[in-house]
Homo-oligomer: A and B are copies of this chain.
Amino acid sequence: MKEVVKIALAGFGTVGTGLVKILMENKDWIKRRTGKEIIVSQILVKNLNKPRPIIPQSEPIFTNNVDEFLQNKDWDILVELIGGLELPYQIISKAILFGKHVVTANKALLAIKGKELLQLANAKNVGLYFEASVGGGIPIVQTLKESLCANKVTSISGILNGTANYILTEMSQQGLSFDLALKQAQEKGYAEADPALDIDGIDAAHKLVILIFLAYGEIYPFEKLWIKGIKQVDLLDINFAKELGYILKLIAQVQRESNGLRAGVFPAFFPNNHILSKVDGAFNAILVQGNATGPVVLCGQGAGDLPTGSSVLADIISLIKHNSQINNTGFKDDPFQQAKCLDFMDWECKHYFRFQVKDKPGVLSSLSGVMGEYNISIAQAIQKTQTKTKQGVPIVFLSHRAKLKQVTAAINKINEFDFILEPTIHYPIIE
Chain A interface residues (CB < 8 Å from chain B)? 18, 22, 25-26, 29-35, 131, 137-139, 142-143, 146-152, 217, 275, 278, 290-301, 304, 306-307, 309-311, 313-314, 317-318, 321-322, 324-325, 330-333
Q: Is the CB of A148 within 8 A of B297?
A: no
Which residues of chain B have C-beta atoms less than 8 A from A318's C-beta?
A: 146
Q: A150–B217 Cα gap in the complex (Å)?
A: 28
Chain B residue nearest in CB terms to A18: B292
Q: Are B298 and A298 in contact (CB under 8 A)?
A: yes
User: CB-nearest residue of chain B relative to A136?
Assistant: B293
Contact A301 B306 (CB under 8 A): no
Instruction: Tell which of B18, B138, B150, B151 touches A296, judged by Cβ atoms closer than 8 Å.
Output: B138
Residues in B whose Cβ lies below 8 Å from that of A317: 146, 149-150
**Nearest chain B CB to A76 CB, angstrom units:** 17
Q: List 25 A-B contacts (CB under 8 A).
A: A18-B292, A22-B292, A25-B292, A29-B150, A30-B150, A131-B147, A137-B290, A137-B292, A137-B293, A139-B296, A143-B143, A146-B314, A146-B318, A149-B314, A275-B278, A275-B299, A290-B310, A292-B306, A293-B311, A294-B307, A295-B300, A295-B301, A296-B300, A297-B297, A299-B299
Q: Rank and list the top 7 A-B pairs by shortest CB-CB distance, nearest first.
A: A139-B147, A35-B332, A137-B293, A292-B310, A150-B313, A296-B300, A297-B299
Tell me whether B32 and A332 are in contact (CB under 8 A). yes
Docked CA distance A138–B288 (Å): 11
> Which residues of chain B are within 8 angstroms of A30 by Cβ–Cβ distance?
150
Min Cβ gap A307→B in Å is: 5
Q: Are B333 and A32 in contact (CB under 8 A)?
A: yes
Closest approach, in angstroms, between the C-beta of A189 and any C-beta of chain B? 16
> What is the CB-to-nearest-CB distance from A97 to chain B, in angstroms, rounded to a whole number?
26
Please state if B139 and A26 are interface contacts (CB–CB under 8 Å). Answer: no
Residue picked from A292, A294, A313, A333, most chain B C-beta under 10 Å: A292
Set B25, B131, B275, B325: member contacting A325, Cβ < 8 A = B325
Chain B residues near A31: list those with CB within 8 A: 332-333
Q: A139-B143, A142-B147 given. 14 additional CB < 8 A pairs?
A: A18-B292, A22-B292, A26-B150, A31-B333, A32-B333, A139-B296, A142-B143, A147-B314, A292-B307, A294-B300, A294-B301, A294-B307, A299-B299, A321-B325
Which of B33, B292, B299, B313 lies in contact with A330, CB distance below 8 A?
B33
CB A395 to nearest CB in B, in angstroms, measures: 33
Chain B residues lying within 8 Å of A147, measured Cβ to Cβ, are: 131, 139, 142-143, 311, 314
Alpha-carbon distance between A381 and B2 when the two chains are bound, in angstroms = 63
Report the bound CA distance from A299 to B277 in whole Å: 15
Residue of B nearest to A314 (CB): B147
A314 → chain B closest CB, angstroms: 5
List the B side residues contacting A292 at CB < 8 Å: 18, 22, 25-26, 137, 306-307, 309-310, 313
